[in-house]
Chain A
Amino acid sequence: MRDWLLEHQNADGGWGYAPGKRSALEPTSLGLLALVGLAAGPKPVAQGCAWIRERCTPEGGFAGSAAESEPSWATPLAVLALRAAGCEALACAGALAWLLESSGRRIDDTSTNELDGSLCGWSWYPGTFSWVEPTAYAILAFKQDRRGDEARVTEGERLLYDRVCQGGGWNYGNRRVLGVDLVPFDQVTAKVLLALQDRRERKEVAATAEKTFSADLRRHRSTVTRGWEALARDAWGRPQTGAAEAVTEHLEADRELSTAALSFAVAGLAAALPGFAPFRLGGVGQEKRE
Chain B
Amino acid sequence: MSERRITRRQVLAGASGLALAAPLAVWGRRLPAGPVAAKVWIGRAESYQADLERLIRRGLAEFPELAIRGKRVLLKPNMVEHIAELPINTATEVVVGAAQAFLAEGAAEVTVAEGPGHRRDLDEIFTVIGLRGALRERRIRFVDLNHDDWTRVKNAGGRTGLESFCLPDTLLGADLVVSMPKLKTHHWAGVTLSMKNLFGVLPGAVYGWPKNILHWRGIEASIFDLTGTVCPHFAIVDGIVGMEGNGPIQGEAVAAGAIVMGAHVRSVDATCARVMSLVPERVRHLAEAQERFGPIEAERILQVGESVAAVRRPFRVLPGFSSLVDEG
A binds B: yes
User: A residues engaging B (CB < 8 A)?
Assistant: 16-18, 20-22, 24, 26, 64, 67-68, 73, 105, 123-125, 127-129, 131, 133-134, 171-172, 177-178, 180, 183, 185, 187-188, 220-225, 254, 257-259, 262
Write the chain A residue with the least CB distance to B83: A183
Most interface-central of B19, B128, B208, B211 (chain A CB within 10 A): B208
Contacts of B142 in A (CB 8 A): 258
Asked if A73 contacts B19 (CB within 8 A), the reply is: no
A105 to B208, CA, bound (A): 15
Asked if B147 contacts A18 (CB within 8 A), the reply is: yes
Is B66 in the interface zone, CB < 8 Å from A? no
Contacts of B144 in A (CB 8 A): 257-259
Interface-facing stretch out of B35-43, B114-122, B172-180:
B114-122
Asked if B187 contacts A178 (CB within 8 A), the reply is: yes
Q: What are 9 A-B pairs at a CB distance below 8 A?
A: A21-B148, A67-B150, A125-B207, A127-B216, A131-B210, A172-B118, A172-B210, A178-B318, A222-B124
Given contacts A128-B213, A134-B208, A221-B127, contact A171 B118 (CB under 8 A): yes
What 1/0 flags go to B133-177 for Cβ under 8 Å of A?
Answer: 000000000111011111010000000000000000000000000
Asked if A180 contacts B246 (CB within 8 A), the reply is: yes
Contacts of B207 in A (CB 8 A): 124-125
Is B123 in the interface zone, CB < 8 Å from A? yes
Given contacts A124-B212, A125-B213, A128-B216, contact A225 B121 (CB under 8 A): yes
Contacts of B1 in A (CB 8 A): 22
Asked if B121 contacts A224 (CB within 8 A), the reply is: yes
**Complex partner residue of B149 from A22, A134, A172, CB under 8 angstroms:** A22
Asked if A64 contacts B123 (CB within 8 A), the reply is: no
Asked if B212 contacts A128 (CB within 8 A), the reply is: yes
Contacts of A257 in B (CB 8 A): 123, 144
Min CB distance, B126 to chain A, in Å?
9
**Complex partner residue of B208 from A68, A124, A177, CB under 8 angstroms:** A124
Is B205 in the interface zone, CB < 8 Å from A? yes
Given contacts A20-B2, A22-B149, contact A172 B187 (CB under 8 A): no
Asked if A131 contacts B212 (CB within 8 A), the reply is: yes
Asked if B208 contacts A131 (CB within 8 A), the reply is: yes
Is B104 in the interface zone, CB < 8 Å from A? no
Asked if B83 contacts A225 (CB within 8 A), the reply is: no
Contacts of B206 in A (CB 8 A): 64, 68, 125
A64 to B152, CA, bound (A): 14
**Complex partner residue of A128 from B83, B120, B150, B208, CB under 8 angstroms:** B208
User: B residues engaging A (CB < 8 A)?
Assistant: 1-2, 19, 81, 83, 118-124, 127-128, 142-144, 146-150, 152, 187, 204-213, 216, 246, 250, 318
Asked if A17 contacts B246 (CB within 8 A), the reply is: no
The 4 closest A-B CB pairs, nearest first, are A124-B208, A258-B144, A17-B147, A128-B212
Asked if A73 contacts B246 (CB within 8 A), the reply is: no
Asked if A17 contacts B205 (CB within 8 A), the reply is: yes
Contacts of B318 in A (CB 8 A): 178
Write the chain B residue with the least CB distance to A132: B209
A125 to B210, CA, bound (A): 10
Contacts of A20 in B (CB 8 A): 2
A125 to B128, CA, bound (A): 30
Contacts of A64 in B (CB 8 A): 205-206
Kindly list 9 other residue pairs between chains A and B, CB separation below 8 angstroms, not including A125-B213, A221-B128, A258-B143: A21-B149, A123-B212, A128-B212, A128-B213, A133-B120, A183-B81, A221-B123, A222-B123, A254-B123
Contacts of A258 in B (CB 8 A): 142-144, 146-148
Contacts of B150 in A (CB 8 A): 67
Contacts of B250 in A (CB 8 A): 177-178, 180
Given contacts A16-B149, A258-B144, A259-B147, contact A123 B208 (CB under 8 A): yes
Contacts of A24 in B (CB 8 A): 205
Contacts of B123 in A (CB 8 A): 221-225, 254, 257, 259
